[in-house]
Amino acid sequence: MSTKTYTLEELASIAGVETSEVLAWERDGYLGEVGRANEEDGRWRSVYGFEQAERCVELGGRGIPRRICIVNQKGGVGKTTTAFTLAAALADIGRRVLAVDLDAQANLTTSFGFDPDTIDLTSADLLTEEDVMPEDVILETAIEGIHAIPADIKLCAVETRIQDTMMRERILDTKLASLYDRYHAIVYDCPPNLSRITINALVASQEVIVPVETQSYSIKAISDLTNTFSLLKAKMHHDLLVWILPTKVDRRMRLAGDILDALDEAFRGRILDPVHVDSNLIRAPLLCEPVTRAFPASRASLEYARLARFVVLPDDERQKWMDLPLSTRRKVIERAEHGEEDLGLPDDEEAEDEEAEDDVAVDGENVSASA
Ligand SMILES: Nc1ncnc2c1ncn2[C@@H]1O[C@H](COP(=O)(O)OP(=O)(O)OP(=O)(O)O)[C@@H](O)[C@H]1O
Ligand SMILES: [Mg+2]
């Protein structure tokens, strides 16, 4: 089991309160069984783990449930990487997460260290067998706080097998509904197509993250996707909140900058802060660990941690942050990461950014805060 410990300050940030409040919760027994460690000077100190982080989420009233579909019918854009790393980054901030693998390639399943060939029941059975329930397929992963529904090759046959099922777009939503209040976040990793399986995931979600590779921008792929979202709204009255996540951004390439600008213009208010090219994202799953655990100081780790903090913010705070142009947000993030003192006196434009920064800060748990 990969466990994580937390400082008092981290718990306060997770709860959105002062450290004194967390200490009061601990004193009054609200933090459960707090571990103890003997310091070199002979004194005892508290060791906080996931249980304390999770309780702080609840005590601070920060357990806003999210159901998020990671979708793009284009292959290799970073869907699985995002599902895996976001799930881990959410668990790192005390959220209980269910990660659902819906791709026959089972890359999310193997990222968690499971061998799909040796698993009996998977998401394919959940979708096709009436008597298979979520409890039968959910696995506890090695990362504290994360459960997973694995996938396997049987998913290839699901499309035809559910062809004649009543309400075939709602199978997943119906089966998982009883779990919605058991997890702070449910994250679906979709296959690279707009099959009925993907539609099932969309119907079971409230929002979607569309990873878009900035090395080749496919307007066609995005417009097919947005048409699908519109269709779901028109036919099923299912309204999805759509976020675009630029991935594999390499700022040395002009094209990446041009694509980011084009995305920002076409989807103003919907573009998440980009994830840059980082080879640690390729290395981490080989160790069966998310980058946030294997390489916590890496750029990708910080960027996905930021995405997780964004995901759990209250809706109005999220929108405030997203209403800022991408370039302004980038400056705010850089400032938070490098420290104010390096920046000198702000000019007019920067002064405006400072105001914006004040606006989006959320009681100790804001998006721009460095890890
Ligand atoms: N930010 C990044 N920097 C570098 N490599 C990345 C980044 N994001 C993803 N990758 C790598 O790109 C490849 C494709 O990523 P991933 O498997 O997440 O895409 P996908 O959209 O799930 O693909 P598929 O459509 O086949 O399911 C993987 O090798 C992954 O490690
Ligand atoms: Mg994938």
Residue pLDDT, tens place only, 120-135: 999 999 999 999 999 9
Three-class SS state of 67: strand
Q: Give me ligand 1 centre to Cα 78, in Å.
A: 4
Res 38: pLDDT: 84
Res 123: pLDDT: 98
How long is the chain?
Answer: 371
Of 251, 247, 242, the residue nearest 334 (C-alpha): 251
Three-class SS state of 214: coil
Q: How far is CA 147 from CA 299, 345, 358, 366, in A?
A: 26, 48, 36, 26
Q: Which of 60-64, 210-214, 225-229, 284-288 has the lowest mean pLDDT?
A: 284-288
Ligand 1 and 277: CB distance under 6 A: yes
Q: Give me ligand 1 centre to Cα 286, in Å.
A: 13
Taking CA atoms only, the protein residue closest to ligand 1 atom 10 is 78
Ligand 1 and 78: CB distance under 6 A: yes
Closest ligand relative to 101 C-alpha: 2
Q: Look-up: residue for tokens 């997890």?
A: 183
Specify the DSSP element, H or E, that contains 212: strand 207-213
Three-class SS state of 108: helix
Ligand 1 and 35: CB distance under 6 A: no
Of 152, 175, 1, 28, the residue nearest 91 (C-alpha): 1
Res 247: pLDDT: 92
Closest ligand relative to 108 C-alpha: 2
Res 291: pLDDT: 97
Nearest 5 degrees, angle CA 194-CA 200-CA 206? 100
How far is Cα 27 from Cα 156, in angstroms, rounded to an integer?
A: 53
Q: Give me ligand 1 centre to Cα 370, in Å.
A: 24
Average pLDDT for 80-94: 97
Taking CA atoms only, the protein residue closest to ligand 1 atom 8 is 78
Three-class SS state of 191: coil
In the numeric block, which tokens belong to residue 212? 């878009």
Q: Give me ligand 1 centre to Cα 57, in Å.
A: 30
Please check the confidence at residue 200 and state whether its pLDDT lies above 60.
Answer: yes
Please count the other Cβ atoms lying within 10 Å of the Cβ belonging to residue 25: 20
Average pLDDT for 231-236: 91
Q: Give me ligand 2 centre to Cα 101, in Å.
A: 9
Atom of ligand 1 nearest to the CA of 81: 18
Res 339: pLDDT: 61
Q: Average pLDDT, whole number, for the chain?
A: 88
Q: What are phi and psi of 234, to 5 degrees?
A: -70, -45
Ligand 1 and 76: CB distance under 6 A: yes
Average pLDDT for 243-258: 85
Q: What superfamily does domain 66-312 belong to in CATH?
A: P-loop containing nucleotide triphosphate hydrolases (3.40.50.300)
Of 56, 51, 57, 60, the residue nearest 3 (C-alpha): 51
Closest ligand relative to 71 C-alpha: 1
Q: Edge-to-edge, what's the strand order for the sheet holding 97-101?
A: 139-140, 146-149, 97-101, 185-189, 66-70, 207-213, 241-247
- More reliable by pLDDT, 96 or 354: 96
User: Where do the structural domains in the chain lie, given as residue ranges?
Assistant: 8-59, 66-312, 313-371
In the structure, what pLDDT confidence band is assigned to residue 214 with cuts at 50, 70 and 90?
confident
**Residues of the chain with pLDDT > 90: what percent?**
69
Please check the confidence at residue 70 and state whether its pLDDT lies above 70.
Answer: yes
Res 360: pLDDT: 43
Residue 212 pairs in a beta bridge with 246
- More reliable by pLDDT, 287 or 218: 287
Average pLDDT for 276-296: 93
Average pLDDT for 241-270: 86
Res 367: pLDDT: 61
Three-class SS state of 321: helix
Average pLDDT for 227-234: 92
Q: Give me ligand 1 centre to Cα 82, in Å.
A: 8
DSSP 246: E
